[in-house]
Amino acid sequence: MSTVEVTTEELVARAAALRERLYAEADAAEERGGYSPEMHQAFADAGFYRMVQPRMFGGLEMDLADFFRVIIEIGRGDPQTGWALCLAAGHAFQIGAFFGEQAQAEVFGGEGDVVIPSRAIPGGTAKRVDGGWLVEGTWDYCSGATYATHALLLAVTGEGPTGRHMVILPRADFEILDDWGGGRTLGLGGTGSNSIRVDARFVPEHLAVPYDWKDYVMPEGGTLGYKLHGNPQYVGRSLTFFYGELNCTQVGTARCALDVYTEAAMERKTSFPPPMPRSESPDYQRWVGEASSLTETAEIALLGAAERYTAACHRWAEHGEPFTVAHDGALRDVCAQAGKLAWQAVDLMFATGGSTAARRGSRLQRCFRDAMMFRTHIGAQYDVISGSTGRVRLGQPLTH
């Protein structure tokens, strides 16, 4: 499969060109549970599903920071759709790192774009049978599932270092349950975070690997993906990847809110005396400045962590410098802090946006609901995350 050369700037521009269209479709996406077939086609045409897919199989093989830049721009148009695209396109990164050539050729080598939702909490079991595994169970919160071509699911096996394996199933072997969207949640209703059910399906051996990704012990010579592609980013460190995925969506949410908040400050008057244009109010000037600085800092921190991740991968490959779980955890925490700053920015803008901003249909209200929904996610439990990283720095095992 040939690869078309495209720059990050071109991809970001394609995402920016969809901004108003994304917003216009946001209500329908929330009710439906995912973005429209037309938007799915626009994403495919733009190359968004191929961003971190290996070049060997028609992908763009982008660095994480560049991938995050595109997702931030999509989220600036509609945060829930940014989340859906990120979690639909991003897991090609892990398949490119941890699975062998036969599996990658089978998953990536077909016609069309690959969409791979994942769930890294066990929702079922895999029992060993001749030639592979028999998988069954139900995995909830499989974000990006709407147009799934495959699913990457964690199953309990009782074998390997953790007793769990990640398995890949093609679309024909699982059911996407109708349990997302339609006002079921406070926010992020358009993320396609449906449950996936598997009823006793066979998974061949090459589509299952032991799951030890969070505290992965780097083998001599690196991962299967590094050996296959020669790209150091496929060395398999997963903490920065996972938390970067989640929190780049929050930077996109803050960007979206900042656009709306700034526009309102230019057009509306204050509601407290003496009435004046918000743009002339010292309070609003301060709030716009603070929200902007929080958002900018969040983006710089998140992209900086991703760039340091890539640099650490290259130092490992080129100079043999260790890239440890502790290093990965430290960068993971930067990504988490970026999300925290982004949430603080959204919270500030919603609190000072006036009652109009709290009405159903308000763009700022949608940003707030999506951000608050994220605050319930395991990736937003900042004290737990910091505690886990602190354990590693103090010479103890990673817990989260």
Its domain, for residue 294, covers 234-393
Mean pLDDT calculated for residue range 284-293: 97
Report if residue 3 sits inside a domain. no
Domain check: are 125 and 200 in the same one?
yes
Domain check: are 327 and 375 in the same one?
yes
Residue 85 in tokens: 């695209």
Domain check: are 388 and 333 in the same one?
yes
Q: Which of 3-7, 34-38, 208-212, 360-364 has the lowest mean pLDDT?
A: 3-7
* pLDDT grade for 1, boundaries at 50, 70 and 90: very low
Report if residue 51 sits inside a domain. yes
Domain check: are 209 and 254 in the same one?
no
Each residue of 91-106: pLDDT tens digit? Answer: 999 999 999 999 999 9
| Average pLDDT value for the chain | 95
Domain check: are 357 and 278 in the same one?
yes
Domain check: are 252 and 360 in the same one?
yes
- Percent of the chain at pLDDT exceeding 70: 98
Question: Is 45 within 8 Å of 53 (Cβ atoms)?
Answer: no
Question: Is 240 within 8 Å of 321 (Cβ atoms)?
Answer: no
Q: Which CA distances in Å does 71 have to 249, 307, 338, 357? A: 7, 16, 15, 25
Report if residue 2 sits inside a domain. no
Reported pTM: 0.96
Report if residue 228 sits inside a domain. no
Report the C-alpha gap between 383 and 387 in whole angstroms.
6
Question: How many CB atoms are located within 10 Å of the residue 369 CB?
Answer: 23
Domain check: are 163 and 69 in the same one?
no
Each residue of 329-387: pLDDT tens digit? Answer: 999 999 999 999 999 999 999 999 999 889 988 999 999 999 999 999 988 999 998 88
Exposure string of 121-130, with b = 16+ CB inside 10 Å and e = fewer, is: ebbbbbeeee
Considering its fold, how many domains does the chain have in total?
3
Mean pLDDT calculated for residue range 232-261: 96
Report the C-alpha gap between 384 and 213 in whole angstroms.
19
The CATH code of the domain that includes 178 is: 2.40.110.10
pLDDT of the residue at 220 = 85
Report if residue 400 sits inside a domain. no
Domain boundary, last residue among 59, 80, 108: 108
The CATH code of the domain that includes 306 is: 1.20.140.10
* pLDDT grade for 218, boundaries at 50, 70 and 90: confident
